[in-house]
Chains A and B, each alone.
Chain A
Amino acid sequence: MRNLDTAFLALADPTRRAILARLALGEATVMELAEPFDMTQPAVSRHLKVLEGAGLITRRVEGTKRPCRLAPDAIAEIDRWLDWLRQAMARNYDRLDDVLAEMQTEEGKEKP
């Protein structure tokens, strides 16, 4: 079992979650990651260090570059995020259920 505290601390930052979401599309270098997030390379490197320490990404050496990719465990984490997004939308639609029930009641009143 890996250290869940470290993993969740790593996931608590929106930039790191966005970096993981980008890596879900495939391997990327620090330079490629810095560009869409409008961040300096040292800032991205600091985030990558946290993600690597949490076991969410792995890095390999390719000449002077060290491209990053998602660790297999991180894919399970992304599935978990999708669950959270589902829950946020689910709250809206639960409220819509109530609205639809109200609409039916009102229709019933109009047509005695």
Chain B
Amino acid sequence: MSKLTLTTEGDRHVVVTRRFAASPEAVFRAHTDPKLVQKWLLGPDGWSMPICINEAKPGGKIRYEWSDGKGAGFHLTGEYVEVEPYSRIVHIERMHLPDPTPDNHVETRFEKDGTGTLMIMRMTLPDAETRAAMLATGMDEGMEASYARMEGMLQRGELAA
């Protein structure tokens, strides 16, 4: 069962939702306390985040640096625009690959949902082509990890169209 939804909206938006079995306060802290962010925002297995700067206040800076421990790495920078503990964060971010990608404007909301939290993250890209490129980049990451599994599924005929 997948708890995550990822959908596109209009030409420029991507919307991600996810439920957590913890209070909005805890989920908010896990997104804004650098020590906690370093434990989970890591992407594929084997990567770590040696540098994590996260100043959760309007105008505060964000800098995440990832490393695969074998010399490969990249980083993300951003700025907080609005911070409403423990319900809403608005920030702008860009990846450096190493050239910066166009700014991604992200609104993250944490809504009380029974005993847990519903997170709704809405990304706004400058234009449709940037969104397409971003999704294509994200797809690469998923592609690599999924290739072996996909081959197995192909052999069993589960992906046959």
How many angstroms from the CA of A24 to the CA of B129 in the assembled complex?
Answer: 10
- Main SS class of interface, A: helix
Interface size class, chain A: 35 or more
- By a CB distance below 8 angstroms, the chain A residues around B45 are 91
Partner of A99, one of B36, B132, B154: B36
> 0/1 per residue, A75-109, Cβ < 8 Å to B?
01000011111111111110111111101100000
Which residues from chain A sit less than 8 Å from chain B, CB to CB? Answer: 1-2, 4, 8, 11-12, 14, 17-18, 21-22, 24-25, 36, 73, 76, 81-93, 95-101, 103-104
- Contact call B138/A103, Cβ cutoff below 8 A: no
Partner of B27, one of A24, A100, A101: A100
How many angstroms from the CA of A82 to the CA of B139 in the assembled complex?
Answer: 7
- Contact call A84/B142, Cβ cutoff below 8 A: yes
How many angstroms from the CA of A95 to the CA of B38 in the assembled complex?
Answer: 11
The total number of A-B Cβ pairs within 8 Å is 121
- Contact call A84/B6, Cβ cutoff below 8 A: no
The 6 closest A-B pairs by CB, nearest first: A84-B142, A95-B40, A100-B22, A21-B132, A18-B136, A96-B40
- Contact call A93/B18, Cβ cutoff below 8 A: yes
- By a CB distance below 8 angstroms, the chain A residues around B6 are 82, 85-86, 89
- Contact call B132/A25, Cβ cutoff below 8 A: yes
Given contacts A85-B142, A93-B3, A96-B27, 13 further A-B contacts (CB under 8 A): A25-B11, A85-B139, A87-B145, A88-B142, A89-B4, A93-B18, A95-B40, A98-B39, A99-B30, A101-B22, A103-B26, A103-B30, A104-B22
